[in-house]
Amino acid sequence: MDNSGLRGPVRGSRRPASGSIPGMTAPALSPLASLLDLLFPRTCGGCGAGPPGSGGWCPWCAESTAGPWSVGVPGAGRVAVAGRYRGPLRRAVLAYKERGRRDLAADLAGLLVAPLAVVLPVAAGRAPPRIRLVPVPSRPAAARARGGDHVLRLCRALEPRLAAAGLPASTAPLLALDRRARDSVGLDGAARAANLAAALYPAGRGRAGRGRRPPPDPGAPVVLVDDVVTTGATLRACRRALRGLGCEPVGSVLLADATTPGRKQ
């Protein structure tokens, strides 16, 4: 498979006012830009550039994400991200996830196309198989507070992006978290793993039905999708749960890498 057409956003167009791109010092969000985003949430999610209505991810921020690249996460298989969890990408992820910027779903999903090409097994001369995108589930309370499951929305926005790149894909929300799941912020890797092990179950069946029904389309490669990788505990737990369903994920794609602060590509 030729992966050259699987790049995310179009690169090369730089925002003239940003000064020197090589240093990638992102402009801070001004109070006015933040206010405008609240009133008319359509400026760039990364830097707040552009008048309201101008779109969710400007060329400058696309350039500054720098990915895709692979992340070494023990026990998590192949993992690829769009960029480091900092600067414009971090702001955009937080705006999308926590500040109601659902309009960023399509732009952020576009950033996952190139990481997906990194984790997919390449078979030259063969038609790409239909991919199953499995969103890492959100806690029910968090999803309610955010107006829906933000990773599930990201997966659905990724489908047409992949189709445009010649990769048919469908979203398969195979996993769910029950009410016992706590917010993982502040938990270390072991605590996150224990938290998830107690709360993950196959979606649509409840905990009693665990492992009893094979998933549909068992030959399709399964790719886990999430927003940020921190300790890798979530990816490992989801992989284990999918194996319990008879699925072996080929890899995981995420928007941002927060595993080792300060590390560069």
Q: Which residues in this chain contact Zn ion in the complex, by CB under 5 A?
A: 44, 46-47, 49, 58, 61
Closest CB to Zn ion among 15 and 102? 15
CB of 165 to Zn ion, least distance (A): 23
Give the residue carrying structure tokens 């008048």: 51
Asked if residues 175 and 200 have their Cβ atoms less than 8 Å apart, the reply is yes
Comparing CA positions, the residue from 228, 231, 232 lying closest to residue 86 is 228
CB of 246 to Zn ion, least distance (A): 42
How far apart, in whole angstroms, are the C-alpha atoms of residue 41 and residue 101? Answer: 7
Closest CB to Zn ion among 37 and 227? 37
CB of 114 to Zn ion, least distance (A): 18
Comparing CA positions, the residue from 178, 97, 176, 171 lying closest to residue 134 is 171
Closest CB to Zn ion among 49 and 253? 49
Q: Which residues lie below 8 Å from residue 55, measured CB to CB, with a gap of 6+?
A: 42, 44, 107
Give the residue carrying structure tokens 């109601």: 100
Give the residue carrying structure tokens 């167009």: 13
CB of 56 to Zn ion, least distance (A): 9
How far apart, in whole angstroms, are the C-alpha atoms of residue 202 and residue 209? Answer: 8
CB of 46 to Zn ion, least distance (A): 4
Closest CB to Zn ion among 58 and 235? 58
CB of 18 to Zn ion, least distance (A): 9
Three-state secondary-structure class, residue 1: coil
Closest CB to Zn ion among 250 and 255? 255
Closest CB to Zn ion among 47 and 151? 47
Q: Which two tokens stand for residue 101?
A: 């910027």
Give the residue carrying structure tokens 């196309």: 113
